[in-house]
Chain A
Amino acid sequence: MARIVTFFIMLVFWVLISGMFDAFHLGVGVICCLLVAIFSHDLLFYGHPDLLWVRDIFKVLAYFPWLFYQIVLSSLEITYIVLHPRMLEIIDPRLVRFRTRLRNTMARVTLAQSITLTPGTITVNMSGNEFTVYALTQKAAEGLPGEMETRIARALERE
C-alpha cells in the first residue's frame, strides 16, 4: 500500500517538474517512479507501514498555520533586536537543557525543527530525549518547551 501511494506522489512530482505531456516523457516518468516506489518506499513513510498516517496528515496540516504564526512572531522579535541601538543590553544568551516527553522519532525531529524556527531559540543538540537549546533572551529560555510540545504531541503522537 505504501508503495502505491509513494508511486502516485512521485508521479505528481514528476509531472510538476517536467511539464512535458507526450507519451515518451510520461513513460520515462512512470518507469522512474515505479523503480523509486519499489526500492525506497520505506523512506517516505518511515515507521508507518500501515495506512494510519492518512489520519495524521490532517493533524499535521493543522499544526502548520500555528508554526507560521510563530515564525512571523520570531522574525519580528529578531527585527526589533537587530534594529535596537543598544542591542547588547537586550540579549542575554544562554544554554538550556530539558527533557521531552515525546517518544515518536518523527515528533522529536519536528520539535527540534520547530524550536529552531520559533522565537529566540535554536536546537543545539538532541540525544535521546534530552534537548540542548540555545536561547537568545531569558524570556525565550523560560518558555521551553511549553505550548509547542503539546501541539506536536497532539499532531504526531499516537497513543
Chain B
Amino acid sequence: MSIVSWVVAVLLFLGVFFFAIGAIGILRFPDFYSRLHAAGKCDALASTLALVAIALFNVRDFDWTLFQSWDNLRVSLKILLIILFVYVATPAATHAITKAAFIVGIEPWEKRKRNR
C-alpha cells in the first residue's frame, strides 16, 4: 500500500473511533444535556476525519491531463461541501434541541453535594 493509502486508512479509522466514542457517550452520560456534548462534538470531528480521508483517496492519482481526474476532483469538492454543511448544521441542531429541552423543563443532572 502506498503512503496515501496509509494516511487515508489512519484518518478513516480515527473517524470511526470518534463516532464510536460519540455513541458510547450518549449511552453512558447521566443526563440529557451532557449526552448532547458527546453527540455534537464527536460527530463533527469524526465526520470531518472520515470524509477528508475519502476525499483524499478519491484524488489519489491526480493527472491534470485526464478529464476523469478533474471529475474526481469535483466529487471530492462535493464531499468537502458536506463537511462545511456539517459544521454549520451540527451546532445549530444541538442548540435547537438544547433550547427545546430547556423550555420543556428537563432538569439537568447535578452532583449530590450541590443539592442542599
Contact = CB atoms under 8 A, between A and B. Distances in A.
Query: Do A and B touch, yes or no (CB under 8 Å, in the complex)?
Result: yes
A72 interface: yes
Contact of B45 (A15, A17, A71, A124): A71
A159 to B, nearest CB: 27
Given A93-B33, A113-B92, A122-B95, A82 B28 contact: yes
B41 A87 contact: no
A124 B92 contact: no
Nearest to A13: B81
Given A113-B91, A136-B34, A78 B25 contact: yes
Interface in B25-46: 25, 28-31, 33-34, 36-38, 40-42, 44-46
Chain B interface size, under 10 / 10 to 19 / 20 to 34 / 35 or more: 35 or more
B74 to A, nearest CB: 6
B91 A134 contact: no
Contacts of A16: 74, 77-78, 81
Interface stretch (B5-13, B58-66, B105-113): B105-113
Contacts of A136: 34, 37
Given A16-B81, A88-B30, A79 B95 contact: no
A136 B33 CA distance: 9
A83 B21 contact: yes
A120 B25 CA distance: 13
Q: Is the interface of A mostly helix, strand, loop or mixed?
A: helix
Contacts of A94: 108, 110
B94 A116 contact: yes
B36 to A, nearest CB: 6
A122 B25 contact: no
A38 interface: no
Contact of B37 (A68, A78, A113): A78
A122 B98 contact: yes
Contacts of B77: 16
Interface in A81-136: 82-83, 87-88, 91-95, 112-114, 116-117, 120, 122-125, 132, 134, 136
B88 to A, nearest CB: 8
A79 B74 contact: no
22 contacts: A16-B74, A19-B71, A72-B45, A75-B21, A78-B38, A79-B21, A79-B42, A82-B21, A82-B38, A83-B21, A87-B28, A93-B33, A112-B95, A114-B91, A116-B40, A116-B95, A117-B40, A122-B95, A123-B95, A123-B98, A124-B98, A134-B98
